């Protein structure tokens, strides 16, 4: 065992304490140099749950979700035991490792959880280089999409035609291109299959001087998107670059119980994007170009606007639900960001309070037909227009019960059968015409067939 190994495991002070030394004060004790290394863990498994990252049995990061990183962790060189555990409703499960990693000084390591949850694996990328000139940009590109075949990668000026050009490189899942150093400025990243079919186009991307970037091609999960998107790891930060044509997904819900059927107009168009939408119906996702939209809702077949929402920003690669809710006299839009990512180990459930009559509510999630009189609510004191966010539940059959806050008087009880990988959204609503019993609008896996 050498002196660096002794220092790394904490035994050096004990060894020194037992060694005879010349008491001559003129002989200084030279402390051994301890080199440092750095590690960054990145979650790139598209259907895996959020994870905890353990280093030597202790949590280095908790709740790391898809396309997130731990940031750069600085450690003394040595051997470390690293494990990744998935956070699942039934209790956390180790999905990678524990594995012993020998971390060498002056080296940077990226540990990437890749592939689908059934075949999740670690990809370890080590890097001893660094940016040579602060006026340049250093770039490495990793293929982290297991389902994607071998591809060509082009990094060009934004207006360049790639026909006949040589790619930066060709690589398959788990492989790395680079590093390369390029001038700071605007670029365009395109990925093609080996038959030249374009499968990804970033549009214009600005690369700032002085950056040392790891760019990972990771899977997408929305229907009709490009098969990959790019995750740009820049020290502790992660930026996602979608294909420029992925667009935004928008769906519309009519949740105003005393309002007539409505038409929905976008950006002052003379033709409605949605016609004759009645309470409590839903129009499923429509894909729109990313950008700012003016959304106008009118009574069907009239020009009488009941909602005007200006400059609603819809981001590329994102999904949204816009709900027209409240009573007609106070009708208003509620815009919610959706998450279409399916997680193989859990059902993901979101509950939205859309009833203007109910007041603040408690929400119970219990076994079917269960008595709630002695139960505690899963969510307490939820106000009108609030939602639970996406909650992870084990697959199974449940009753969702909604009561006035602080009581066990049932206003709504709905039975649901939840499956692993399913996404479920339920909106509590008023009764038709504000006179019939309260009900639920189901979206995603609860949408009527």
Which contacts of 90-98 are long-range, i.e. CB under 8 A and separated by 24 or more positions? 90/394, 92/52, 93/345, 95/48, 95/51, 95/120, 96/120, 96/121, 96/122, 97/122, 98/54
Neighbours of 109 (CB within 10 A): 21
What pLDDT, on a 0 to 100 scale, did the predictor assign at position 31?
66
Contacts of 321 (CB under 8 A, 6+ apart): 250, 251, 252, 253, 335, 336, 338, 425, 443
Q: Contact at 8 Å (CB) between 335 and 320?
A: yes
Contact 412, 418 (CB under 8 A): no
Q: Mind listing the pLDDT tens digit for each residue in 129-158?
A: 999 999 999 999 999 999 999 999 999 999
> What is the mean pLDDT for each group of 10 consecutive residues in the chain (449 residues)?
31 33 55 86 97 94 96 95 94 92 95 95 96 97 97 97 96 97 98 96 98 98 96 98 98 98 96 97 97 97 93 98 97 98 98 97 97 97 98 97 97 96 98 96 91
Classified as helix, coil or strand, 183 is: strand
CA 39 to chain centre: 21
Please tell me the predicted confidence (pLDDT) of residue 275. 96
Classify 245 as helix, strand or coil.
coil
Gyration radius of the chain over CA positions = 27
Locate 395 and state its tokens: 């697959």
Distances (CA, A) of 283 to 253, 254, 276, 298, 322: 7, 9, 10, 16, 10
d(CA 190, CA 152): 8
Instruction: Give the residue among 371, 427, 417 at the shortest CA–CA distance from 393.
Output: 417
Q: Please, which residues have CB within 8 angstroms of residue 276's CB and are 6 or more apart in sequence?
A: 261, 262, 263, 300, 301
Beta strand pairing call for 248-255 and 282-288: antiparallel
Reading the block at residue 274, the tokens are 């949605």
Report whether 360 contacts 405 (CB < 8 A): yes
**For residue 234, what pLDDT is reported?**
98
The helix, strand and coil proportions of the chain, stated in percent and rounded to the nearest 5, come to: 5, 50, 45
CA distance linking residue 119 with residue 141, whole number of Å:
22
Report d(CA 95, CA 86) in Å as an integer.
6
The encoded tokens of residue 117 equal 């949850």
Cα(183)–Cα(209) distance, integer angstroms: 7
248-251-331 Cα angle (round to 5): 120
Strands 262-266 and 319-325: unpaired
Nearest C-alpha neighbor of 444 from the set 354, 305, 339, 356: 339
All domains in the chain, ordered by first residue: 1-19+31-127 (2.60.40), 129-246 (2.60.40.2890), 247-338 (2.60.40), 341-449 (2.60.40.1120)
Contact of 323 with 353, CB cutoff 8 Å: no
pTM over 0.85: yes
């Amino acid at each position: 065992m050498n002196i660096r190994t002794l220092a790394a495991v904490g035994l050096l002070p004990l060894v020194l304490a037992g060694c005879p030394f010349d008491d001559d004060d003129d002989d200084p004790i030279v402390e051994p140099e301890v080199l440092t290394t750095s590690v960054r863990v990145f979650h790139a498994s598209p259907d895996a749950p959020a994870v905890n990252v353990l280093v030597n049995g202790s949590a280095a990061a908790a709740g790391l979700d898809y396309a997130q990183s731990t940031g750069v962790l600085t450690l003394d060189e040595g051997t470390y035991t690293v494990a990744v555990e998935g956070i699942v409703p039934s209790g956390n499960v180790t999905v990678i490792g524990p594995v012993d990693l020998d971390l060498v000084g002056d080296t940077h390591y990226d540990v990437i959880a890749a592939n689908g949850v059934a075949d999740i694996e670690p990809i370890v990328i080590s890097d001893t280089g660094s940016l040579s000139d602060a006026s340049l940009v250093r770039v490495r590109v990793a293929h982290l999409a297991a389902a994607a075949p071998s591809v060509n990668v082009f990094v060009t000026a934004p207006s360049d035609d790639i026909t006949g050009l040589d790619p930066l490189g060709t690589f398959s899942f788990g492989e790395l291109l680079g590093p390369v150093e390029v001038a700071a400025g605007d670029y365009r990243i395109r990925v093609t299959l080996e038959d030249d079919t374009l499968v990804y186009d970033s549009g214009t991307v600005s690369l700032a001087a002085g950056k040392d970037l790891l760019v990972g091609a990771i899977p997408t999960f929305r229907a009709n998107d490009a098969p990959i998107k790019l995750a740009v790891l820049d020290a502790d930060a992660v930026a996602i670059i979608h294909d420029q044509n992925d667009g935004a997904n928008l769906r519309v819900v009519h949740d105003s119980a005393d309002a007539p059927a409505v038409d929905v107009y976008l950006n002052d168009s003379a033709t409605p994007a949605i016609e004759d939408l009645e309470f409590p119906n839903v129009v499923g996702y429509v894909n729109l170009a990313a950008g700012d939209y003016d959304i106008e809702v009118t009574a069907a077949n009239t020009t009488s606007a009941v909602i005007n929402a200006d400059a609603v920003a819809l981001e590329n690669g994102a999904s949204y639900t816009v709900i027209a809710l409240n009573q007609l006299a106070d009708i208003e839009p509620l815009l919610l960001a959706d998450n279409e990512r399916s997680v193989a180990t859990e059902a993901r459930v979101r509950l939205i309070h859309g009833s203007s009559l109910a007041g603040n509510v408690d929400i119970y999630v219990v076994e079917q037909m269960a008595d709630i009189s002695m139960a505690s609510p899963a969510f307490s004191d939820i106000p009108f227009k609030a939602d639970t966010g996406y909650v992870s539940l084990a697959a199974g059959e449940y009753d969702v019960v909604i009561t006035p806050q602080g009581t066990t008087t049932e206003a709504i009880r709905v039975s649901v059968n939840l499956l692993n990988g399913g996404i479920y959204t339920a909106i509590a609503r008023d009764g038709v015409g504000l006179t019939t019993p309260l009900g639920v609008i189901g979206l995603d896996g609860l949408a009527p067939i």
